[in-house]
Structure 1
């Protein structure tokens, strides 16, 4: 497989990843999150990332086989010599965009989890205040009665 076709394949898969990240972000902004849909997107992302890793390993092996050093510098030189500098630059830009989107998605998930934990803590506080004692009164009323007696 040529370097140009590998870069094109990677670009297409990164485009798909960007679309998945956009879908994930849309799901996270909904009031009621569809857990099944979110899990489906996460599963698709895992599969796609594994495929991207496989293609990246193949690209690195082609780069090495052609006599270029490992790393970004060797990749850039290989792309220049193969006449696909534009494809390499586009792949880098798309990869950076995907990384930024992924970081934002992580922050969104963190904020959502923090909000959910705050809601659970609040519900627990309310539940503790309204629990009934063996006498049939709620704990808030028992405290008032005992305090005034």
Structure 2
């Protein structure tokens, strides 16, 4: 497979990943989280990332086979010599954008989880202060001595 084709394939996969990350961010900003939709997106992202990694491994092997260093400079030189430097530069920009989107999504998930934990802690505090015990009796009833005993 040619270097130009591999770069084009990577670019396409990164576009797809951008769409998935955007959907994920939209879901995370909604009041009610659709857990099934998030799980489905996570599975799709995982498959897409595996595909991107596979293509990147192929690109590295083509770069090496063509006699270029296994470095960023080698990749740049291979792209330049293969007349696909513009595609390479665009791919690098897209990769940086996807990385920023992924970081933002991670921060959104962390905030969401922190908020949920705070809500659970608050609910536990309220539950501990209630008049009723888990057996349904009031706390006042449980402290009384049974007069018929």
- Per-residue CA deviation, residues 105-128 of structure 1 (Å, 9 max, x unaligned), is 000000000000000000000000
Q: Specify the alignment match of 1:78 in structure 2.
A: 78
State how far apart, in whole Å, the 2-side matches of 1:135 and 1:101 are. 49
Deviation at 1:75, TM superposition (A): 0.3
- Per-residue CA deviation, residues 28-53 of structure 1 (Å, 9 max, x unaligned), is 00000000000000000000000000
Deviation at 1:136, TM superposition (A): 3.7
Deviation at 1:131, TM superposition (A): 4.5
Task: Detail structure 1 runs of 4+ shifted over 3 Å in the superposition.
Answer: 133-136
Tell me the TM-score normalised to structure 2 length: 0.90
Deviation at 1:132, TM superposition (A): 1.9
Q: Specify the alignment match of 1:132 in structure 2.
A: 132
CA contact (8 A) 1:68 1:78 kept: yes
State how far apart, in whole Å, the 1-side matches of 2:26 and 2:84 are. 34
Deviation at 1:135, TM superposition (A): 9.6
How many residues of Structure 1 are paired with residues of Structure 2 in the alignment?
A: 142
Q: Let me know the Cα RMSD of the aligned residues.
A: 1.9
Equivalent residues in 2 for 1:40-59, closer than 5 Å: 40-59=40-59
CA contact (8 A) 1:11 1:91 kept: yes
Structure 2 residue runs without a partner (length 5+): 144-149
- Per-residue CA deviation, residues 37-73 of structure 1 (Å, 9 max, x unaligned), is 0000000000000000000000000000000000211
Q: Specify the alignment match of 1:60 in structure 2.
A: 60
SS at match of 1:14: helix
1:100 counterpart = 2:100? yes
State how far apart, in whole Å, the 1-side matches of 2:62 and 2:107 are. 36
CA contact (8 A) 1:129 1:138 kept: no
Structure 1 residue runs without a partner (length 5+): 144-149
